[in-house]
Amino acid sequence: MSEPRPLLSVRGLTKVFEARSGMPGRRGTHVRAVDDVSFDIAPGETLGIVGESGSGKSTTAYCVLRLVEPTSGRVEFDGTDITALGGGDLRKARRQMQIVFQDPYSSLDPRMRVRTVVSEPLRVHGIGDRASRRRRVDELLELVGLSPSAADRFPHEFSGGQRQRVGIARALALEPKLVVCDEPVSALDVSVQAQILNLLKDLQDELDLTYLFISHDLAVIRTVSDRIAVMRHGKVVETARADALFASPGHEYTQELLSAIPVPDPREMNRRRDAKLEARR
């Protein structure tokens, strides 16, 4: 079976931040936030990137979108190396790649009504006229499970889950092929989290979306991902199909993560505690 051409292909992606020391006479240090990261995502696939804070998972996502300029490496989107693009070509490429942030409230302008928030990408890219943009916003709101009346309200009038729906509607406005989801449910309560995860899955099926899904939460990552990359200290330590990763984690760090995540099963938690006590003897 021949593999389809990946929609996104990342090779040797590296981002070095220069941290100034802030003290005169002292040299700054280099932080390799993303260190030689490579992966592919096939059309319609979800690649999950999981890692703890400082693992470089979000910086990787920002480099893919060039919201952060990578230091080196290639990011090929649909066959085009976007690290080499500038100006108009980059803008065109970006229409195909959108992002959903963790906290939709801080990523939304509080003075803008939902209609303005959702239609902004259309205006920025000069798509349609007022009337057609209006129709498109209504359509998008319906798509994410909000009523059209939401358009005339302000973000602060919504609950966290509804705000995330607004964030998703905005990300979908330009009909992107790739959506980067950066901790999209981390700020949400469990019951709402499930609604948003289901919505993201439904939208993927309906619109043929490809996801790069970033999360610190292994259970969330498992629910959405076809394949999972585990990151630590800027490096991908392991990439595997989701079920395989959980059934037989290859890397020691993946094992450590899996045995640290609390599961809603008191017997399993007791087993782990006994195993730990045993190991210490």
Q: Which residues bind another protein (CB under 8 A)?
A: 46, 52-53, 159, 161, 189-195, 197-198, 201, 216-220, 222-226, 242-243, 246, 256-269, 272-273, 276
Closest approach of another protein to the CB of residue 213, in Å: 11
Residue that the structure tokens 């936030």 belong to? 33
Closer CB to another protein, 94 or 216, in the complex: 216
Closest approach of another protein to the CB of residue 11, in Å: 26
Distance CA 77, CA 79 (A): 5
Distance CA 192, CA 186 (A): 11
Closest approach of another protein to the CB of residue 244, in Å: 11
Closer CB to another protein, 218 or 240, in the complex: 218
Across-strand partners of 179? 98, 211
Closer CB to another protein, 76 or 183, in the complex: 183
DSSP 64: H
Across-strand partners of 228? 48, 240
Closer CB to another protein, 82 or 240, in the complex: 240
220 is written with which tokens?
């969330």
Closest approach of another protein to the CB of residue 269, in Å: 4
Tabulate helix, strand, coil % of the chain (nearest 5). 45, 25, 30
Closer CB to another protein, 130 or 267, in the complex: 267
Distance CA 199, CA 212 (A): 16
Closest approach of another protein to the CB of residue 277, in Å: 10
